[in-house]
Structure 1
């Protein structure tokens, strides 16, 4: 009975809070994926980078690329389109990899200098810790992992992704 109640409690997590506002122009550009609780398409990524560019219609052209299995592995590239949810302060998006399905994309943390961000989901199933630089100092990394844990994630599932020039 206790296990059933524990599982029920996991399903009733409060909504994921997002940052109050995002300056979309500042958010655009390259983000290095430092660590994640990855999706199925993110198998064994090396040098994973997410690039954002705002289209004239307000959608976000996204390029997610990485080398699979090693720094010299096959290049994998995906091009989802982001749509900003109205009245969300630009902090809530929907990402569409395949029509008609859209995935939740919540900017749950963004440093004031736009150098680190955490992208989360209400289900607490996936999370991405990203930086403008390919490496974070250990103190910054641990502070961001603590934020992710405070959001309700099992941080033992976080995978750190390797980067090199």
Structure 2
């Protein structure tokens, strides 16, 4: 293989690797995208620079004209005294009945968005993983959820290897 071919193969591996889910994290089946659309409140997360210091974080999902899903994340920075938002796009990795998407907020680079837990009866809370165990979110339709739902999330995430001691419990005022 020549250098150009090797470079292309390496780039493809890196880009696909970001869409892979952590070992043991299995996306849900029986997913209904239309029921997932709308606003979700971030209840808990493992913190990252792109969300550092943000409270009142929400994610809004809507359909795109190209068949994908529009993602609008918003959060309030107390330090800056302003709202911050990021718009992205998501597409299904396998099929629309599997809660496994790739999400991009900039350019051709995608990251994994794996729904590994969901209240499939009412679509009221969702457990989401990124490409590795450094990325974890608990989302809900309301800014507060029942304590037993929080504990079930922490228990399962811990079993899957996420460091739940570092969870940020998001304030919604």
What interval of TM-score do these two structures reach, taking the shorter chain for normalisation? 0.7 to 0.9
Matched, 1:24 2:27: no
Question: 1:15-35 deviations in whole A, cap 9, x for unaligned?
Answer: 421111210000000000000
Query: Which deviates further from its counterpart, 53-62 or 13-22?
Result: 13-22
Corresponding residue number in structure 1 for 2:112: 104
- Give the TM-score normalised by the residue count of structure 1: 0.85
Corresponding residue number in structure 1 for 2:148: 139
Contact residue 16 and residue 121 of structure 1 kept, 8 A: no
1:51 paired residue among 49, 60, 64: 60
Change (3 A) 1:31 1:60: same
Matched, 1:89 2:97: yes
Q: Distance in 2 between matches of 1:104 and 1:161?
A: 22
SS of alignment partner, residue 134 of structure 2: coil
Q: Distance in 1 between matches of 2:66 and 2:93?
A: 14
SS of alignment partner, residue 80 of structure 1: strand
SS of alignment partner, residue 95 of structure 1: strand
Corresponding residue number in structure 1 for 2:88: 80
- 5+ residue gaps, structure 1, are 1-12
TM-superposed CA distance for 1:69, in Å, is: 2.3
Matched, 1:127 2:136: yes
- Give the TM-score normalised by the residue count of structure 2: 0.81
Paired residue total: 151
Over aligned residues, Cα RMSD in angstroms? 1.7
